[in-house]
């Protein structure tokens, strides 16, 4: 993985959870990788579903971005995301979420995702719809909060 192909420590969520995005694979499918620690587990000692969903959302959104931007940084917003939990990720392990575009057009992208552990066991799947942020909205001034 080349340094320009990795997105890390870019957002507060990324710094808090500790995942890394790989946007440099030739198949144009982003990968979200996480080394699971005790901080990622729920009270049942398995990966918290919110962490799994966040990883899938990040990989899938970056995959949508790769459809228009080789850096994977063009903003796409999550319109809808459904996660199906298949197996529990227990203990400390390496997880990788991957996105794959399955349809869409100029404004909306339909993306599927998979979350797998280091032994390639399927942990969760997801289906999502992602909307490209229009260029004229990228530098829009922020409101005053009212």
DSSP 80-137: EEEEEE-S--BSS-EEEEEEEEEEE-SSEEEEEEEEEETT--EEEEEEEEEEEPPHHH
- Residue 146 domain-assigned (yes or no): no
pLDDT for the residue numbered 135: 76
- Residue 46 domain-assigned (yes or no): yes
pLDDT for the residue numbered 102: 98
Q: How many domains are there within the chain?
A: 1
Decide which of 80 and 73 is more confident.
Answer: 80
- Residue 86 domain-assigned (yes or no): yes
Instruction: Assign residue 62 the CATH number of its domain.
Output: 3.10.129.10
- Residue 92 domain-assigned (yes or no): yes
- Residue 18 domain-assigned (yes or no): yes
> Which residues form the domain of 115?
3-138
Angstrom distance (rounded) from CA 49 to CA 94: 15
- Residue 48 domain-assigned (yes or no): yes
Number of other residues whose CB lies within 10 A of the CB of residue 62: 27
- The whole-number average pLDDT for the span 115-128 is 96
Angstrom distance (rounded) from CA 145 to CA 105: 33
pLDDT for the residue numbered 121: 96
What's this model's pTM, rounded to 2 decimal places?
0.89
- Residue 143 domain-assigned (yes or no): no
Residue 50, both tokens: 């919110």
Give residue-wise pLDDT tens across range 81-119.
Answer: 999 999 999 877 899 999 999 999 888 999 999 999 999
Closest listed residue to residue 31, CA positions, set 46, 19, 41, 40? 19
For the chain, the maximum distance between any two Cα atoms, rounded to a whole number of angstroms, is 50
pLDDT tier, 134 (very low <50, low <70, confident <90, very high otherwise): confident
pLDDT tier, 145 (very low <50, low <70, confident <90, very high otherwise): very low
pLDDT for the residue numbered 4: 60
Is a pLDDT exceeding 90 seen at residue 30?
Answer: yes
Backbone angles phi, psi at 93, to 5 degrees: -150, 175
- Residue 144 domain-assigned (yes or no): no
Is a pLDDT exceeding 80 seen at residue 140?
Answer: no
Angstrom distance (rounded) from CA 27 to CA 134: 25
DSSP state of 3: G
């Amino acid at each position: 993985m080349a340094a320009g192909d990795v997105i890390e420590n870019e957002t507060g969520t990324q710094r808090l959870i500790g995942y890394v995005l790989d946007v440099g694979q030739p198949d144009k499918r982003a990968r979200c990788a996480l080394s699971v620690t005790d901080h990622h587990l729920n009270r049942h000692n398995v990966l918290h579903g919110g962490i799994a969903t966040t990883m899938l959302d990040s990989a899938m959104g970056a995959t949508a971005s790769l459809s228009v931007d080789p850096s994977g940084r063009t903003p796409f917003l999550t319109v809808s995301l459904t996660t199906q939990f298949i197996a529990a990720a227990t203990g400390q392990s390496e997880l990788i979420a991957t996105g794959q575009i399955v349809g869409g057009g100029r404004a909306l992208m339909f993306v599927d995702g998979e979350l797998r552990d280091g032994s390639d066991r399927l942990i969760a799947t997801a289906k999502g719809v992602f909307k490209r942020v229009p260029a004229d909205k990228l530098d829009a001034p922020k409101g005053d909060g009212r």
